[in-house]
Each structure stands twice: as C-alpha cells, then as structure tokens.
Amino acid sequence: MLRLSSEDIEQGYALACQTVVESDVSISVPPQEKIERRLTTDRTVAEIEVPEGYDFARSQTVRRLTLMLTPPSMDDQTDDLSRLRIGMRQQADIGEIDISLPLLRKIGAVLREDDWRVTAILESESWDKPARSARLIDLRPGHELLNEPVWGAAIDIGTTTITLWVVDLVTGKVHAQVAEYNGQISRGEDVISRIVFSAKNGGSDQLRSLVLETINALLDRACKRVKITPDQVVKASIAGNSTMMHLLLGIPATSIRLAPFITAVNHLPLLSAHEVGLAINPEGVVDCLPGIASYVGADISAGVFSSGMSNTENLTLFLDVGTNGETVLGSREWLVTCACSAGPAFEGAGVIHGMRATKGAIEEVWVNSDTFEPTFRVIGGVKPRGLCGSGLISLLSEMFITGLVDKGGNINAHLGIPRVREGEHGLEYVIVWGQDSATGEDIVITHVDIDNLLRAKAAIYAGFTILADSVGIPLEAVEQVLIAGSFGKYINVEKAVQIGLLPDMPWERFQFLGNTAIRGAYYALLDKEAREEIRAVASRMTYIELSADNTFYDAFMSALFLPHTDISRFPSVEGVMSKT
C-alpha cells in the first residue's frame, strides 16, 4: 500500500517487498524521517506550467540591468550614487531610483570591484510609464548573462501547512517545491486559538518567530535543492489567510476575532524582506497578496484567480474545505463570498481519533452493509493510528448508507454487533480493534465525533445556500464546483455528497484543484497583470458576514441532517437510500 511517486521511482526507490533481486545489489535504506517528509510534501508537489506568454522583460516588476559606468577621475568627481543614477538614466531610461541605506553602504565597494561594471536588480510598478522610477533591490559586481536566473519565491502560509516554491523569474520555471507544517501549530490548531495566543504577553512575537522559522527553513531547503543561497532570492509573493498574514507581520489580529470582525489591513503595501524577517535578500520585495475580510484572505483571492473562476463565464462555486470553509460563488461578472467557520473537524481535530492526512491515517473506509465490518485504506500502508478528513467523510457516509447511523447522526444501538458499544462519550463504533492499530488502542468514532462532523458539514453547506440565496440563484444552477485545498484533493465526491457536505450534482462538475493559493502566489510572483487581477478580485468580491446574516442559522439547522432535512436537494442520495 506504500505508494511511491514517479519521482521516487526515477530516483531509484523501490519497495523491497515487491522487488526481485536478480544480481548483486547495493541497497540504501532512506532514513525513516526522510520517507515521512517525502510523504508529507509529496502530497503538495504539483506539475506546474509556466503561464503562456510569460516574458521576463514584459511581465515582471523585477528587472536586471547590466551597466558599464565611466570611472571617476580628478576631472569628474561625481559621487557614486549620482554616477549610478546617470548610468541608469542613460542606459536604461530610468528617471528615479529609490535606494535603501544598506545598499548605499555597499554601493562604493560594488562599483569598484569589477571596474565600474555592475549588474543591478530593480523593481518597479511603472516600467511602462514614461517617467520610470524603480527601487534598487541589489547591486552586484560584474555583468550577469541574460539567461542567468533571477530568483523569486512563492509562498502560501496555511494554518496547517506552509508551501514554498523557488522560481526562476527569467524563465518562469519552478525549480523547487517544498512544504512543511506551520510551526505555529504547537500554539493552536486553528486561527482562533492562534489569535487568542497572540494576545497573550509575548504571544504575537512567538507566533511571528515560529512562522518565520518554518518559512526560512523551507527557503533554505528549497535553495539547497537549487544550489543557490537564500539571499539570491530577490522577490517573494505570499498568500495566506488574513490571520496568518497578520501574525506573519506582527500586526495585532485581535479585531479579527471580535465582532464586528475587522482586519487591520487587507491590502498590504510592498515590504522589504528585512522588515518582514524573511531570509531572502534583505532588500528583496515582499508582496503580501490582498485579502477580502477577516475570514476570507489572500489565499482565497489568489485561489479564485488561479482557479480561473474570476475569468470564466460559467457560474462557479469555489470551496476551500478547511477550518474556515471559505466559499465563493460567481464568475467573471460578480463574486460573492463567505466563510462558514466549519471548525477543524475535517482536519482531524475535535474528533477523538481524528488526525492529519499523514502516515497511519485511514483515508478511505468501506462498511459491509450486512456485517457492518469495515475495511479501510491507510496512508503509508502501515497500521492505522486514526482517521483523516477524507477517512471521516468516507466513514460517515458508509455508516449512513448502511444504517449504522440515522439521518440525525445517531448510532444505531440495536444491531447487536460488538463494534457498536457504549463508550465514555456515549455510543461509539469501533473501526479498528486495538490488536490491529498502531497504538494498541481501539480506533473508534463516537456520537460526539459525529455531532462535530455534522456541524462542520452543515456550516459549509449552509454557506453555499446563503451565497446562492444572496444572489437569488438556485444552487443547481452552478455549472462547476472547484474544490481547493490539498485536503480537498483526496475527498471522495460521492461520499461527500452522501453526507451532504457537497451539493448533489453530476460528478463531472466537480474539480479538485489542490493548493490554489500557492498557484495564485506563483502567478502573482511572475506576472504583474496577474497580480493586478488578484487585487481586482479581492476588491470586487462581496463579503457576507454569516454571523450578521439571520438566515444562516436556519440554513445551518436544516443542514444538520444526513444529507439534509430537505432530501429533495439530494436526489442521488435519495436514490441510493431507496435501494438499500
């Protein structure tokens, strides 16, 4: 069951149990930690194509200039900075350059190191304007070749996972993709507990350090792979939800948590790496992408853009299945969004044997409708330790279809099977007996767990209905459902529909896009038009605050059933149920 990726196989990895030794071999067993890490990050690695028509010189805000300056003499005592300015004006038609004090400190030495031949890295929003002004990011001795890379990084700061790509801005090609758990997890699983922690004495600084440690370690790992140093990276674009963005920058996030739920800032100015604490070139540009509201952040603006939703004529429902359950409805014409605070149940929290989608997690369950015996698939093919989100959806759906639970989510106590028993938290169903689990303990799902899952899925589904109602369109009119989030990638649609998490519509309308936020950050990193479009998406999205919407409660209560109070909304489930 241990799956090897095509990358693994290329690198010469093989499963010992399935390999025939035909001659003398030398076998290297990778350290366990390495395997686990690869398993974690594999889940986020994606083949990414350079956007069509990408042109470094035309699409980028960053440019590289090679300049040949006249050396000073007794007859020409122009100061170093003016000499550089004059060179830029004459050789690149740049009117004004903005230069920081740290760069002023090194300019004299750099200009003289290779006899007044230098390479400048500049950033500007106004390359196309007649009065060009630019900010100097780096000045290096000598002349770099046209095809030498200029490095950038795209970053997505998820509450759970941080993803970082290292990109050559010249070609647009992604050279490394890495991911790791957000170091802040140790201080709280979800955004609310992080905000609470940040308000404690020193909490904000601690959270800031933790996220920076994770990012900088990722940067280091990715740069090692590409054989560069982190300070060669001159630009970074960052996506992430609003809380992650505030915590990264040390901006108090308290108002996000308290009514009326206001962020300090949605559209951040361009920052320098040294201000942010990012270990790229200290003068490197850090572009934090714009968010929409407290619970619909830059990850969603970036995701909506990269999913193509903001540029399609088809009515689209965009869903990031995660703690916040951000949902967007619309098309190129209009966009409306809400966040339904699903809670972290589908990420394994609030469920007694819930866990993240790593090795040992049950990711799919089948229940025999006669014997109620389960079979399951475990990530990594090892003994199970618990259930991840997709496993929980799968389990709940199977339990419902087989009658192990009723439409109210109550476990059927009258089946007379040992797997259903009275536990500490009321009735529970045993999926794995202790002798077969990694921990030696029984793996169960309790009545309380099921209640939590119902509340989570009800919140998400209620979000859909509120959005649809707000624009007076029936949910069935939705032409495509885009599911974002690396978690979303592993959901079994049929089962998600069966529990009423996803609306009931033909499967071909669903698309699983994986991490749309990092793709959006990547596009924003490369292309100033993409960046502008993400800004426009963030600005034109209408945010509906559900806690201020008094129809939300009704929608939520109606969705607290399997699949829904109004079964007619789920004709396919109705069909399945009538067969059983």
Contacts with its own copies by CB under 8 A lie at: 72-82, 98-101, 104-105, 107-109, 112, 249-252, 254-255, 259-269, 271, 275-276, 293-294, 543, 545, 547-548
In the numeric block, the tokens 């015996």 are attached to 373
For residue 185, which amino acid is it? I
Alpha-carbon gap, residue 192 to 294, rounded angstroms: 11
Give, for 152, the enclosing helix (H) or strand (E): strand 151-157
Nearest to 245, CA basis, from 281, 201, 194, 202:
194
Q: Can you list the positions of beta strands (E) in 169-268?
A: 174-181, 233-240
Nearer to its own copies, 109 or 146 (CB): 109
Q: What is the DSSP string of 230-245?
A: GGGEEEEEEEE-HHHH
Q: Which pair of tokens denotes residue 484?
A: 């974002």
CA atoms within 13 A on the CB side of 281: 23
Nearer to its own copies, 216 or 255 (CB): 255
Nearer to its own copies, 85 or 221 (CB): 85
Alpha-carbon gap, residue 139 to 283, rounded angstroms: 11
Q: Least distance to its own copies from the beta carbon of 162, Å?
A: 20
**What φ, ψ does residue 401 adopt, rounded to 5°?**
-65, -35
Nearest to 169, CA basis, from 144, 149, 154:
149
Q: Least distance to its own copies from the beta carbon of 265, Å?
A: 4
Nearer to its own copies, 7 or 275 (CB): 275
Q: Which pair of tokens denotes residue 461?
A: 């589904």
**What φ, ψ does residue 460 adopt, rounded to 5°?**
-65, -45
Nearer to its own copies, 239 or 573 (CB): 239
Q: Least distance to its own copies from the beta carbon of 521, Å?
A: 20
Give, for 483, the enclosing helix (H) or strand (E): strand 480-484
Nearer to its own copies, 246 or 564 (CB): 246
Q: Least distance to its own copies from the beta carbon of 249, Å?
A: 6
Q: Which pair of tokens denotes residue 94?
A: 């740049």
Please check whether residue 63 is in contact with residue 134, taking contact to mean a CB–CB distance below 8 angstroms: yes
Nearer to its own copies, 15 or 262 (CB): 262
Q: What share of the chain is helix, strand, coil (3-state, %, to 5)?
A: 40, 20, 40
Nearer to its own copies, 293 or 315 (CB): 293
Q: Least distance to its own copies from the beta carbon of 93, Å?
A: 20
Q: Least distance to its own copies from the beta carbon of 517, Å?
A: 19
Q: Least distance to its own copies from the beta carbon of 78, Å?
A: 8
Q: Least distance to its own copies from the beta carbon of 247, Å?
A: 12
Q: Least distance to its own copies from the beta carbon of 269, Å?
A: 6
How crowded is residue 40: how many other Cβ atoms within 10 Å of its Cβ? 17
Alpha-carbon gap, residue 418 to 154, rounded angstroms: 51
Q: Least distance to its own copies from the beta carbon of 401, Å?
A: 40
Please check whether residue 279 is in contact with residue 272, taking contact to mean a CB–CB distance below 8 angstroms: no
Q: Least distance to its own copies from the beta carbon of 112, Å?
A: 8
Q: Least distance to its own copies from the beta carbon of 72, Å?
A: 5
Look at the alpha carbons of 64, 70, 73, 76 in this order and tell me if their dihedral is positive or negative: negative
Nearer to its own copies, 274 or 407 (CB): 274
Alpha-carbon gap, residue 298 to 445, rounded angstroms: 35
Q: Which pair of tokens denotes residue 509?
A: 């309308």
- Give the list of residues 6+ apart from residue 401 with CB closer than 8 angstroms, or none: 367, 369, 498, 576, 577, 580
Nearer to its own copies, 115 or 476 (CB): 115
Nearer to its own copies, 1 or 101 (CB): 101
Please check whether residue 389 is in contact with residue 487, taking contact to mean a CB–CB distance below 8 angstroms: yes
Q: Least distance to its own copies from the beta carbon of 250, Å?
A: 6
For residue 17, which amino acid is it? C
For residue 474, which amino acid is it? P
Q: What is the DSSP string of 349-418?
A: TTSTTB--SSTTEEEEEEE-TTT--EEEEEGGGS---EE-HHHHHHHHHHHHHTTSB-TT--B-TTS--T
Alpha-carbon gap, residue 280 to 338, rounded angstroms: 34
Please check whether residue 170 is in contact with residue 147, taking contact to mean a CB–CB distance below 8 angstroms: yes
Nearer to its own copies, 294 or 397 (CB): 294
Nearer to its own copies, 512 or 543 (CB): 543
For residue 380, which amino acid is it? G
Q: Least distance to its own copies from the beta carbon of 339, Å?
A: 12
Nearer to its own copies, 339 or 361 (CB): 339
For residue 414, which amino acid is it? H
Q: Least distance to its own copies from the beta carbon of 531, Å?
A: 18
Nearer to its own copies, 109 or 471 (CB): 109
